[in-house]
Structure 1
Amino acid sequence: MKNLHFKTPFYNFYAPLIFKFRKQYALVLAKMWALTPEQTKQLILYSWDRFLANKFYSEAPYLPGQKIDFGQIKRSSDTIFILGCGASINDLTENEWKIISQHDSIGVNYFYAHHFSPTFHMIELGQSPKSMACLNTHLLSQKSRKNEMIFLQIRHLLRRDKLELNDSNNNLYLYSPSVPKSTSVPLIRRILVKWFKKPGQLIHHASNLDCTVHFAYQAGYKNIYLLGVDLNKNQYFWDVLQSDRPAISDVKSATQDDYRISNFNQNPQAVHATADIKHTATNMSLTVIDYLTLVNDDIFSQQGIHLATCSPKSLLREHFDYVELSALANNVTYGSTNNNDG
């Protein structure tokens, strides 16, 4: 990991004091919530992680890009499509892409290899050195994509010793989410109810997908529709796409390296790692489905926000509403500048 500029001698002096304060605060909450000793320990660590997530933003001046400001994000619709990289993306027709283009959209991770250009990108940089090369070549350096806002997870940048990111389009922004580590449903539910609605800081739990859903909420969208979030298979759209486009072959190579480095199951018929309870438990998290169910039940349903999948083959269809894209044709409602009304 890169040397952190905020870790000065003064930080070493005051950080233990802040930790003690945040620990006491967490202990008060733990008593109110009747948490077990293990849940209390996890809450203390999360309270500290919320502090660190904000401190990481002080590294922004030393990195490519700039700190994300939710107040500057403008919506052109009340609906946003979250575009995952699952193989079902290849099933979409030209008419369906036209429907998607009538609304805002955000591509997750390597989605930028697709020919469709979304409004935003939400990216966690893979551990493979090829992941940065792909990002530079096929997104950041492309003048034709200068109007697409690109959000990068700052912690994934800081863990690298060398950064060579191209921000010549001045459209690169950094986000620093807090990360609750727990497989306790009661604790995660308490955390969501207390902090999910608070503007300015995203929560990342099981995957970058759930962080992207939180972004959509922070930005004020009322309908959050998921496409290409299959989860029932470990297969991406570039794995089954017959294309000679360099972006496809480069991203395919990068993700294969990412999988090897992270020791993920590369069986294309396996359930995606973020939906595999054995895998997520080793990372101290719920599955992304269980986590999003809590978000939907405890936050979205209370505020009239519609979370649904538009992919008929998605594993999410068993747990959330399903919306056919054809039903959204010419159904465009326009929003305004984000006011964090959540």
Structure 2
Amino acid sequence: MKNIVIFGASTFGEVVAQFFSEYLPQIEIAYFLDNDQRKNAFMNYEVFIPNDENIRNHPIIIASMYYKEIKEQLEAYGLIEARDFFDSSAITIMKREMDTSKRIIQEMDDFGVEYHFVLREELRKYKKNDTLFIFGTGSSTNSFTEQQWDHINRCDSWGVNFWNVHRLVPTYYSTEFVYNDLDKFDMLMHNVKARSGYPLMYIKDIPSSNPNYYAYLINNFDSVPLTYDIRLHSFTEQSQRQMLLLIKLLNIEELLADEGIHLGGVTSITTVIFHAMAMGYKEIILCGVDLCNDTHFYEDSKDYIYDSNARYPNREEWQKREKHGVMSEEYALRADKYIYMINELFLQEKGITLYTASTQTELYPTLKLYFQ
């Protein structure tokens, strides 16, 4: 069992403590630190004034509005940020996401929606080899040769969202609820139902759902396959890196996955990358994750649509953006930066190679090209 120390015997500290108690009881709080000498107990934990002895026992999570001052205090002892101590933002974001998911699950129960959580062990049953192609819906996939498609068909593959209109049936398929657009979600589900045995593994982004979906889910599913997906959105590389380093240090990804709770981020692709890592793939190839444009394969060419039953959004040219929306830092850290960070902090250490399948992407040449 891993232990942590919380710096801040206050409201922020209580929020962090509640998160670990409710969602990660495998990680134990050893004690609190606080600069207020009048405090010696908080939430049934001992509280100590920080000194050279009690700041070096366990990782410290700073849960205080005075982060800058406490950071300088700990650095004066020789401690290093994002190695010995961490901002609590990762915890507060995870708690917010999971609390929202918990509320929506309760709403589903109240509305009588039947559902089940998909555990990663179930996904592992479909793994055939150590190479996984992950498919976004970017137009660059239209440039693949028949020889390349033949190679892809001999490996495992994972499609997301409107990949289900492509003629290639992947090993795994997952989609999102599509926040506040039931017609678009209905298109996604139409394409799944129109193809016999299409591998819908789960529907993600529970926090993005709303009660307008519940009647639809009742009428269209015997049991909705769900996962909790924690969207780790941050607006700076520094804070995003701190999040991932804390998750890595405390093994949070695996602890949560055992409960059907999975780490995500700016895109569906980043969630799948975490799955691929945990499922033991040695090569991960990103296909159609173009980011440098906003054109989908089904808009660029109809040659790869599975048949006339497919339904997908039709947009005018003026509605297409210069780049994919996840490349805007107004929403969160840009998708390409987040992908590089996951690669650096997790994949490379595990000996997993992350490739891109095309030069027609923002990810090239930073990522190696798989098809030479």
Q: Which residue of 2 aligns with 1:52?
A: 99
Q: Report the CA distance between 1:120 and its aligned residue.
A: 0.9
Letter in 2 for 1:317: Y
Decide whether the 8 Å contact of 1:53 with 1:178 is kept in 2: no
Aligned with residue 153 of structure 1, among 200, 204, 207: 204
1:263-342 equivalence runs, <5 A:
266-268=319-321, 270-275=322-327, 279-280=328-329, 282-283=330-331, 285-324=332-371
Structure 1 position 156, deviation (Å): 5.5
**Measured at CA, do residues 89 and 47 of structure 1 come closer, stay the same or move farther in structure 2, by a change above 3 Å?**
closer
Match of 1:29 in 2: 61
Q: Percent sequence identity over matched residues? A: 19
Is residue 2:222 matched to residue 1:162? no
Give the direction of change, closer, same or farther, for the CA distance of 1:20–1:216 in structure 2 (3 Å limit): closer
Structure-2 separation of matches of 1:22 and 1:175: 22
2:250 counterpart of 1:202: no
Alignment of 1:67-146 (within 5 A): 67-73=117-123, 74=125, 75-126=127-178, 127-139=180-192, 141-142=193-194, 144-146=196-198
Pick aligned residue for 1:190 from 221, 242, 245: 242
Question: 1:227 aligned to 287, 292, 295, which one?
Answer: 287
- 1:160-215 CA distances to partner (integer Å, 9 max, x unpaired)? 423324336x7x52111112332232221122123255210322221111112112
1:54, CA displacement in angstroms? 6.7
More helix by share: 1
TM-score (norm. length: structure 1): 0.73
TM-score, normalized by length of structure 2? 0.68
Residues 43, 20 of structure 1: alpha-carbon distance in 2 compared, 3 angstrom cutoff: closer
Structure 1 residue 295 displacement after superposition:
0.8
Residues in 1 aligned to 2:166 and 2:89: alpha-carbon distance in whole angstroms? 39
Deviations 1:302-337 (A, max 9, x none): 11011110112111113211111xx7xxxxxxxxxx
- The structure that is strand-richer by fraction is 2
Letter in 1 for 2:344: D
- Structure 1: stretches of 5+ with no match in the other structure: 1-15, 258-264, 328-342
Where 1:298 maps in the other structure, the secondary structure is helix
Equivalence for 1:238: 298
Matches of 1:215 and 1:63, distance apart in 2: 26
Deviations 1:133-166 (A, max 9, x none): 2122210x246124x1422114256324233243
Question: SS of the residue aligned with 1:115?
Answer: coil
Distance 1:247 1:177 in 2: 30
Q: Which has the bigger relative contact order, CA under 8 A and spacing at least 6?
A: 1
Q: For 2:176 and 2:68, how far apart are their aligned partners in 1?
A: 33
* Number of positions where the alignment pairs a residue of Structure 1 with one of Structure 2: 290
CA distance in 2, matches of 1:230, 1:36: 38
Q: Which has the larger radius of gyration?
A: 2
Q: Deviations for 1:234-283, whole angstroms, at most 9, x for unmatched residues?
A: 100111113684455x3123xx49xxxxxxx9335x011112xxx33x22
Cα drift, residue 58 of structure 1? 4.9
CA gap of 1:228–1:99, structure 2 versus 1, over 3 A, is same
Change (3 A) 1:184 1:23: farther
Structure-2 residue corresponding to 1:13 = none
The verdict on how the C-alpha distance between 1:47 and 1:129 changes in structure 2, with shifts beyond 3 A counting, is closer
Structure 2, unpaired ranges of 5+: 1-11, 21-28, 34-59, 72-85
Instruction: Give the match's secondary structure for 1:161.
Output: helix
